[in-house]
Each structure stands twice: as structure tokens, then as C-alpha cells.
């Protein structure tokens, strides 16, 4: 895992997308100049948005326990159905050092722990962004990659995290400890909703993710920036 740690320490502005599947809507949003989804189909609006001052993440870290077959294709990956609304180019691909048996909550499969690194040019921008795909559970990345190595995040992007064995509310609660400034999500990750589903197994396997003083999420004026299967993604500032 050292190659992943070394790679992440190169960046100051990191976006984390847990349980991403094959969705790249976070890259689409930020590289368009932070335009709402319905405005990203307008090339003029995208060009104008680049003139605005905003902090675009330098690297997008995605994690999921599945989707090995999709991302192993490297430079042959077709992003047309992955949430990219503008043109794109894969300029580089490499596989980083794998993590051995990273999953504590889920089963470890033959491909678990593999890490893929892409360099992408999106929306015609000259400067590429980095995409890192970690085939392991979200909790491992948050605990053993970010927290353990003092690697701060800037933003979290989450949509359609409907839960399986765990729920995204644990990430919202620990986000301030991770250095998160803004949390982009639909209602599924918000603490206090859905009857606050239990994350007992998360705290059993990753005790460092349980915090005594949970982070506060305050909804900003930046609403309806992306649509998912479970509603619209809004921006929440971390307090």
C-alpha cells in the first residue's frame, strides 16, 4: 500500500467518493466548473464557469468492493455511461501496489485490494486530473489510508449509498476528523434520517471511525447539483 500513500501525499486537494460503482459524476461536476447537472450540457456555460474562482480537486479517490472487470481495462475504458457529460481523454493508466485483504466487514475476493490510477482530461481542460480506484471497502480507505496516515480530504462526494451492511452516516460523523470542508450528498448519508441505521459493525471493525463529537453538516445554498436514484445531491459545509 506504500505506493498509494506516497501518491496521495502529493496532493493538497482530495475528493473521496465511497461506494462509487462506476459513477464519475464528481469528476464531471468539478471539472465542468461546479455546474449543476442540467447546465453541463451547455458548452458555453462550461467555458464561462472555468473563469470563476473555485478549488478543483487534484485527485479523486473512489472506493468500492466490486467493479474489478470494468476498471482493469485501463486505457480501453469507455466512460460514456459513467456520468461524464462532456468529452474526455484517458492520457495515462497504471496499476499501483495492491492492498492485501483490506476488507474487514465484507468478504475478501481474489481482486480485493487492487488499485488503479488514471490520468483524465475532462471537458477539454488542458490540465489532467487523477482518478484512483480502490477495490476495497470504504471504511478501510477512511481508516487505514486517510486517518492513519494523516492524509486530509477536502471534499466527500456520495450519492445512492443505500447501505448494505453499513451506512454512510458514519462517514458524515467522522468527516471533520478527516479534514473535510464540504460534503456533497443526497439524504442517505445525513445523520438522523432513516431512523439512524446502526453502524455497529463499522465501529467494531474500525474503532477509530467512531467519534464522541460528531461533525455538523450545514446545508449551503448550493442545491440540486446532481441527481441520483435517491434524490438530488446538495452541498453541506462541515462545522
Angstrom distance (rounded) from CA 130 to CA 114: 17
The whole-angstrom distance between residue 114's C-alpha and the CA centroid of its chain comes to 17
Q: For residues 105 and 201, is the Cβ–Cβ distance under 8 A?
A: yes
Beta bridge pairs of residue 31: none
Angstrom distance (rounded) from CA 194 to CA 188: 8
- Give one DSSP letter per residue of 9-29, joined into a string: TT-S-EEEEET-TT--HHHHH
Q: Which residues does the chain have with pLDDT short of 70?
A: 47, 50-54
Range of the domain at 80: 2-238
Place of cell 506516497: 6
The upper half-sphere exposure of residue 157, i.e. CA atoms within 13 Å in the direction of its Cβ, equals 25
Q: What pTM value is reported for the model?
A: 0.94
Q: SS3 for 237?
A: strand
pLDDT of residue 197: 84
Count of domains forming the chain: 1
Instruction: Determine the Cα angle at 61 with ends 38 and 125, to 5°.
Output: 50
Q: Is 218 exposed, middle or buried (0-12, 13-18, 19+ CB in 10 A)?
A: exposed
Amino acid at each position: 500500500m506504500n505506493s498509494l500513500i506516497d501518491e496521495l501525499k502529493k496532493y493538497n486537494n482530495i475528493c473521496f467518493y465511497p461506494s462509487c460503482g462506476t459513477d464519475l459524476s464528481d469528476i464531471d461536476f468539478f471539472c465542468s466548473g461546479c455546474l449543476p447537472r442540467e447546465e453541463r450540457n451547455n458548452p458555453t456555460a462550461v467555458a464561462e464557469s472555468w473563469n470563476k474562482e473555485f478549488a478543483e480537486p487534484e485527485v479523486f479517490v473512489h472506493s468500492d468492493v466490486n467493479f474489478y472487470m470494468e476498471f482493469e481495462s485501463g486505457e480501453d475504458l469507455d466512460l460514456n455511461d459513467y456520468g461524464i457529460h462532456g468529452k474526455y481523454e484517458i492520457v495515462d493508466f497504471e496499476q499501483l501496489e495492491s492492498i492485501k485483504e483490506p476488507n474487514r466487514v465484507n468478504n475478501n475476493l481474489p481482486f480485493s485490494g487492487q488499485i488503479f490510477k488514471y490520468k483524465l482530461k475532462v471537458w477539454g481542460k488542458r490540465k489532467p486530473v487523477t482518478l484512483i480506484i480502490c477495490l476495497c471497502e470504504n471504511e478501510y480507505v477512511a481508516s487505514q489510508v486517510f486517518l492513519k496516515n494523516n492524509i486530509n480530504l477536502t471534499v466527500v462526494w456520495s450519492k445512492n449509498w443505500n447501505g448494505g451492511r453499513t451506512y454512510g452516516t458514519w462517514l458524515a460523523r467522522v468527516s471533520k476528523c478527516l479534514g473535510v470542508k464540504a460534503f456533497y450528498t443526497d439524504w442517505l448519508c445525513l445523520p438522523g434520517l432513516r431512523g439512524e441505521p446502526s453502524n455497529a459493525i463499522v465501529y467494531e471493525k474500525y474503532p477509530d471511525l467512531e467519534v464522541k463529537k460528531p461533525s455538523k453538516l450545514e446545508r449551503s445554498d448550493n442545491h440540486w447539483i446532481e441527481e441520483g436514484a435517491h434524490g438530488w445531491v446538495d452541498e453541506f459545509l462541515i462545522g
